[in-house]
């Protein structure tokens, strides 16, 4: 206990860089792994006060919106997976941002009818969806919270008022975000008067955010979706620099988060549960793992050529289906059962040649009562997301992935928080090759996501492992690769989370620059892969695993995260 408190104190005082911390922690009673030490400490405070995993998630998110505003916040959206140890049931909460009533299928097409670039469509009000985080946190708290709602806001309010030392990731992001200097809200918050960006270690305060949190703490979600904060959001969207949006007070007042059934499937002797549509993450992760089940674990050992090849092939097949079938199930008949049907996945896995790359994969034809002729969408990649995993004293678990979509969202703020650009997760082209695209924009529709908060259970349905990550569409591969590393490779969470990333989103095989990568790349090239090697900073994995006598937690060394527990 004393050593853990010393680690927390040194990190929060800035005396130990986040990346220099131990990235694996052992705890007996409760644990949190999150993307920033301040946020993890807020969650741990709630757990120590007897709070639930959901209580800790609320406190953690509110601090993340302050200390990691480039990645998540109350102006964005989130998905939360909850395992209730008492009832032994798993459920999920959907806080995805929603398109306002003003959205149209052609909203991201230029005057020539061609899709705009994503970087051109992001800044301003057009890309902002109705934020869902507060609605989702309230819904989950009403069902699983133990501490008073207002209590959960205290750490974030205190930190926003008193200030905190800017961390390495936020400092790097501000310095490298060239557009920020031209966006008034970002400039006023994260730049000095002389135009230089805030540097690591400088103190940042946000009293406007503290004021917003006080209002929501006192009034609940109505304090966000109605009244002064709602008006500030509408004003920011309708009068944004560059391009404006049509969000109204009615859009905000009508937003409702949803509780949904998770998607679950077997992987070897384990059960894996994750987020269903409008996220594609859970289905794609289950498809990748399902395809890998055709092969023995001996061929899926991390760092081997067979593993890199087989994982890339399974991933290609899953991303091909994702592009064609996945969207908001309230608008499109998504064949969920068909896509994770064991026989269907087995037929897809049969397409994998253990010795040769398959080239670009085509979507399959899953069994479904309703089958719609659709065209696969084309998805640009952006990263602006965070993840947390939490286990409380009762053994209940939260896996929550949260986002403002791109870096600093839409680059505009209201009430001291960033607004998302999640509407650019829609397909910019509503029709391709004469067929509709499932993920086309529409009023009231939820854009497709890749967020994949995941919980793994043993054969007796007891909790074993929880993992999740930021990373845009690459989230799916980050999570699936980590799960395979732990379940097939018998890696520790720390080693699995830190291992070099290998991705294939139905295109080139992307490999993180690391020792031994040249040999692997050469072997894959000989098998027909197009290989791209680069430095990858998109992942930000966090995981907790049940072990004898307690839990092991780990955080991705590529970011500022930490695992804390007692």
Q: How far apart are CA 486 and CA 540, in angstroms?
A: 17
Structure confidence at residue 19 (pLDDT): 39
Structure confidence at residue 10 (pLDDT): 41
pTM (2 d.p.): 0.95
Tokens coding 104? 């149209």
Structure confidence at residue 1 (pLDDT): 46
Structure confidence at residue 535 (pLDDT): 85
The backbone torsions φ and ψ at residue 225, rounded to the nearest 5 degrees and listed phi first, read -85, -5
Residue in the block written with tokens 């860089």: 17
Q: How far apart are CA 521 and CA 530, in angstroms?
A: 9
Among 143, 20, 3, 23, CA closest to 544 = 23
All structural domains of the chain: 62-258+392-402+411-436 (no CATH), 260-379+449-540 (1.10.246.130)
Radius of gyration of the chain (CA): 22
Rounded-to-10 torsion of CA 540, 546, 550, 551: -10
Q: Residue 3: pLDDT band by 50, 70, 90 thresholds?
A: very low
- Tell me the mean pLDDT in the region 282-293: 98
Tokens coding 378? 């084309």
Beta strand 531-534 with 509-512: parallel, antiparallel or unpaired?
parallel
The larger pLDDT score, comparing residue 23 to residue 24, is at 24
> Taking a C-beta distance cutoff of 8 angstroms, is the pair 110, 116 a contact?
yes
**432 class by beta-carbon count within 10 Å (0-12 exposed, 13-18 middle, 19+ buried):** middle
Tokens coding 447? 């854009």
Tokens coding 222? 């109505």
Q: How far apart are CA 307 and CA 313, in angstroms?
A: 10
Indicate if the pLDDT at residue 7 is higher than 60: no
Each residue of 451-474: b (16+ CB within 10 Å) or e? bbbbbbbeeeeebbbbbbbbbbbb
pLDDT in tens, 337-388: 999 999 999 999 999 999 999 999 999 999 975 656 676 776 554 557 999 9
Residue spans of beta strands (DSSP E) within 393-484: 397-403, 413-414, 417-418, 431-432, 435-436, 454-457, 463-468
- Tell me the mean pLDDT in the region 13-31: 64
Q: Residue 6: pLDDT band by 50, 70, 90 thresholds?
A: very low
Provide the percentage of residues in the chain whose pLDDT is more than 70.
93
Q: Residue 530: pLDDT band by 50, 70, 90 thresholds?
A: very high
- Tell me the mean pLDDT in the region 165-172: 95
Structure confidence at residue 181 (pLDDT): 75
Kindly state the helix (H) or strand (E) to which residue 212 belongs, with its residue range. Answer: helix 207-219
Q: Residue 165: pLDDT band by 50, 70, 90 thresholds?
A: very high
Enumerate the active-site residues: 385
The backbone torsions φ and ψ at residue 122, rounded to the nearest 5 degrees and listed phi first, read -70, -55
Structure confidence at residue 17 (pLDDT): 38
Provide the percentage of residues in the chain whose pLDDT is more than 90.
89
pLDDT in tens, 444-457: 999 999 999 999 99
Structure confidence at residue 368 (pLDDT): 77
For the chain, give the mean pLDDT.
Answer: 93
Indicate if the pLDDT at residue 129 is higher than 60: yes
Q: Spell out the residues 6+ positions from residue 347 whose beta carbon is closer than 8 angstroms to its own.
A: 364
Of 381-385, 475-479, 481-485, 514-518, the range with the lowest mean pLDDT is 381-385
Indicate if the pLDDT at residue 267 is higher than 90: yes
pLDDT in tens, 191-248: 999 999 999 999 999 999 999 999 999 999 999 999 999 999 999 999 999 799 999 9
Indicate if the pLDDT at residue 8 is higher than 80: no
> Taking a C-beta distance cutoff of 8 angstroms, is the pair 439, 326 a contact?
yes
- Tell me the mean pLDDT in the region 69-97: 97
Q: Residue 538: pLDDT band by 50, 70, 90 thresholds?
A: confident
Q: How far apart are CA 500 and CA 521, in angstroms?
A: 13
Residue in the block written with tokens 């074993």: 464
In angstroms, what CA-CA distances link 448 with 150, 347, 451? Answer: 32, 26, 9
Indicate if the pLDDT at residue 112 is higher than 60: yes
> Taking a C-beta distance cutoff of 8 angstroms, is the pair 129, 102 a contact?
no
């Amino acid at each position: 206990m004393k050593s853990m408190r010393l680690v927390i104190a040194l990190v929060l005082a800035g005396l130990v860089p986040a990346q220099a911390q131990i990235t694996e922690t052992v705890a007996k009673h409760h644990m949190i792994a999150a993307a920033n030490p301040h946020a993890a400490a807020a969650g741990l405070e709630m757990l120590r006060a007897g709070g639930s995993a959901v209580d800790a998630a609320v406190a953690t998110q509110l601090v993340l919106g302050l200390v990691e505003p480039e990645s998540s916040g109350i102006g964005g959206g989130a998905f939360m997976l909850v395992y209730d140890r008492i009832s032994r049931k798993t459920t999920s909460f959907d806080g995805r941002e929603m398109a306002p009533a003003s959205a149209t299928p052609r909203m991201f097409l230029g005057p020539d009818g061609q899709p705009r670039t994503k970087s051109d469509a992001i800044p301003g009000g057009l890309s902002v969806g109705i934020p869902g985080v507060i609605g989702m946190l309230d819904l989950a708290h009403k069902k699983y919270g133990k501490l008073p709602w207002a209590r959960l806001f205290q750490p974030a309010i205190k930190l926003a008022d008193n200030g905190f030392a800017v961390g390495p990731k936020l400092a790097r992001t501000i310095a490298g975000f060239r557009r920020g200097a031209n966006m008034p809200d970002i400039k006023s918050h994260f730049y000095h008067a002389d135009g230089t960006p805030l540097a690591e270690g400088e103190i940042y305060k946000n009293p406007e955010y503290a004021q917003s949190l006080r209002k929501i703490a006192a009034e609940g979600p109505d304090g966000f979706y109605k009244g002064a904060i709602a008006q500030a959001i509408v004003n920011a969207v309708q009068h944004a620099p560059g391009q404006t949006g049509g969000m109204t007070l009615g859009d905000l007042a009508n937003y409702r988060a949803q509780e949904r059934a998770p998607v679950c499937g077997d992987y070897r002797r384990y059960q894996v549960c994750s987020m269903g549509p409008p996220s594609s993450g859970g289905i794609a992760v289950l498809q990748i793992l399902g395809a890998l089940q055709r092969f023995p674990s001996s061929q899926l050992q991390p760092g081997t050529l067979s593993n890199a090849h087989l994982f890339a092939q399974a991933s290609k097949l899953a991303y091909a289906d994702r592009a064609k079938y996945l969207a908001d199930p309230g608008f499109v008949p998504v064949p969920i059962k068909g896509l994770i049907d064991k026989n269907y996945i087995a037929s897809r896995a049969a397409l994998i040649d253990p010795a040769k790359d398959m080239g670009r994969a085509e979507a399959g034809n899953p069994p479904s009562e309703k089958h719609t002729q659709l065209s696969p969408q084309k998805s640009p990649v952006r990263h602006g997301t965070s993840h947390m995993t939490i286990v409380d004293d009762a053994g209940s678990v939260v896996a929550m992935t949260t986002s403002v979509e791109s870096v600093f969202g839409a680059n505009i703020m209201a009430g001291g928080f960033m607004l998302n650009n999640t509407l650019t997760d829609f397909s910019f082209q509503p029709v391709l090759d004469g067929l509709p695209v499932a993920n086309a924009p529409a009023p009231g529709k939820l854009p497709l996501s890749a967020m994949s908060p995941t919980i793994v259970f043993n054969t007796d349905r007891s909790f074993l492992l929880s993992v999740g990550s930021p990373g845009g569409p690459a989230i799916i591969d980050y999570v699936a690769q980590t799960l395979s590393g732990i379940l097939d490779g018998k890696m520790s969470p720390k080693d699995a989370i830190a291992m070099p990333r290998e991705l294939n989103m139905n295109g080139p095989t992307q490999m993180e620059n690391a020792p031994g990568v040249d040999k692997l790349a050469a072997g894959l090239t000989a098998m027909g892969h197009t290989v791209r090697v680069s430095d990858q900073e998109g992942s930000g994995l966090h995981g907790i695993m049940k072990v004898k006598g307690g839990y092991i937690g780990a955080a991705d060394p590529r970011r500022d995260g930490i695992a804390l527990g007692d």
